[in-house]
Amino acid sequence: MNLSARYEEAIIYAVRLHARQARKGSGVPYVSHLLAVSALVLEFGGDEDQAIAGLLHDAIEDQGGSGTREEIRKRFGERVTAIVDGCTDADTNPKPPWKPRKEAYIAHLRKAPAEVRLVSAADKLHNVRTITADYRQLGENLWSRFRGGKEGTLWYYRELVRTFWDLGPQAIADELAQAVEVLELLVSR
């Protein structure tokens, strides 16, 4: 598959939207996560719309809510917007309380189309890999970055693994399960 100029436009748009945003506590430009998610989507068989949604999966949640949703719709169409919406666990500021929001997101994934689950799983896989790398450097201090703390964060990723294992896509669900297992082994030492 060759990517079109739409993909290039989506990269530029994502970079501009998230230009002032960094990964939690690390200072790493947030766009690194968006590029990684999009790459994982492509590596696990996603098409261009899904890869664009990978670049924009946090845009509504973190960069403007409904106004950003409409801009995505205008620039990239209904399908990309629907996938991004499906990956959004809150579009209000402040966000609802953490645990009910995560429970609602997991329940939502159980009804979501496969293309939403692919982008979501790519997002979660990259997150777990990053959490693992950061844990190796920071140890237990890492958990202060997360509203769910250590126990809540591990619970959330275990539940995501169960959901993706039940519903697919299977290949990326297996990768996520392995990544979560590595993290759990590391933190149990």
Q: What domains can you pick out in the chain, each with its CATH number?
A: 5-187 (1.10.3210.10)
Report the pLDDT value the prediction gives residue 23, as an integer from 0 to 100: 85
CA 2 – CA 65 distance, rounded (Å): 31
pLDDT digit string, tens, across residues 14-67 = 999 999 888 877 788 999 999 999 999 999 999 999 999 999 999 999 888 889
pTM reported for the whole predicted model: 0.96
pLDDT digit string, tens, across residues 106-147 = 999 999 999 999 999 999 999 999 999 999 999 999 999 999
CA 156 – CA 40 distance, rounded (Å): 20
| Non-local CB neighbours of 1 within 8 Å, separated by 6+ positions | 42, 47, 48
Mean of all residue pLDDT scores within the chain? 95
Report the pLDDT value the prediction gives residue 26, as an integer from 0 to 100: 78
> Would you say residue 189 has pLDDT above 90?
no
